Amino acid sequence: MDLRIGGKTAMVTGGTRGIGRAIVEAFLAEGANVAFCARSTQEVADTELECAAQGRVIGTALDVSDSTSLNNWVESTAAEFGGIDMVVANVSALAIPDTEENWYRSFNVDLMGTVNLAKATIAHLKDSEAGSLIAISSVSGREADFASGPYGTMKTAIIGYMAGLALQLAETGVRVNTVSPGNTYHPNGVWPGIETGDPELFDYALGLNPTGRMGTPEETAASVVFLSSPCSSRTSGANLLIDGALTRGIQF
């Protein structure tokens, strides 16, 4: 299927590893230009180099909790590529333990990073014929689980924020959606650390997956890129679960 995003420009936060890296590569595979960011200068440089053969890609080292740097990145991307068509707010502090510091980190990175990215890009997305804004939440934002402290609470807030934004922007043609992955296993991710550090929790979480396994970043990325594309032109205001039937609640 031709997703009709060849030559269009996508922005992805947290694009050097896990789901974010897979999203960057999936956009490139469809012929899109990609601008991505992450905090580590070395990881950004390595990712840009490794992805260069796949298409036009530019990485920038920044902290999304710094709204000035975030705005500057958006404007430089729009100038470099001549516009912005698709935006994915993916980055997370992954601050799961219930500490005061993690509440502030989750608020500043997960929630305000999403809000500020949306505010910085909306004007550009309105100028696109295929404007799409997606935030990566989590099943922890939909159901109570072991991560229901700062991490889960901010992921819930993201779903609510994006739903309201979808309604506000509907008449402009800009589509706004949320994607909520379930347990996703990848090198340097949360779950390998839990597997070795807390095997009881890992076994419990794995047992909740009726498929008998956790997901991969590529499985989430494929849905994100399709949802971003004009092929999904009627989808806005949705929270797309990609969890292998992990969650039990019915979405009305």
What is the domain partition of the chain in residue ranges?
A: 9-186+218-241
Taking the CA atoms of residue 21, residue 226, residue 35 and residue 193 in that order, the dihedral angle to the nearest 10 degrees is -20
99: number of Cβ within 10 Å: 12
At 249 the pLDDT is: 87
3-state secondary structure of 193: helix
- pLDDT for 31 equals 98
Cα–Cα dist 114/119, whole Å: 9
Which of 66, 87, 67 shows the shortest CA–CA distance to 9?
87
pLDDT score recorded for residue 252 = 76
State the fold for domain 9-186+218-241.
Answer: Rossmann fold (3.40.50)
Residue pair 247/182 in contact (Cβ under 8 Å)? The answer is: yes
Distance of alpha carbon 211 from alpha carbon 183, whole angstroms: 11
Which residue in 218, 206, 216 sits closest to 146, CA to CA? 206
CB atoms within 10 A of CB 66: 14
Catalytic residues: 137-138, 151, 155
Based on the number of CB atoms within 10 Å of its own CB, is 143 exposed (0-12), middle (13-18) or buried (19 or more)?
middle
Question: What's the token pair of residue 22?
Answer: 């897979």
What would the pLDDT profile of 177-231 be if each residue is shown by its tens digit?
999 999 999 998 999 999 999 999 999 999 999 999 999 999 999 999 999 999 9
Q: Name the stretches of the chain with pLDDT < 50.
A: none
Q: What is the pLDDT of residues 219-238, one digit of tens each?
A: 999 999 999 999 999 999 99
CA distance linking residue 60 with residue 14, whole number of Å: 10
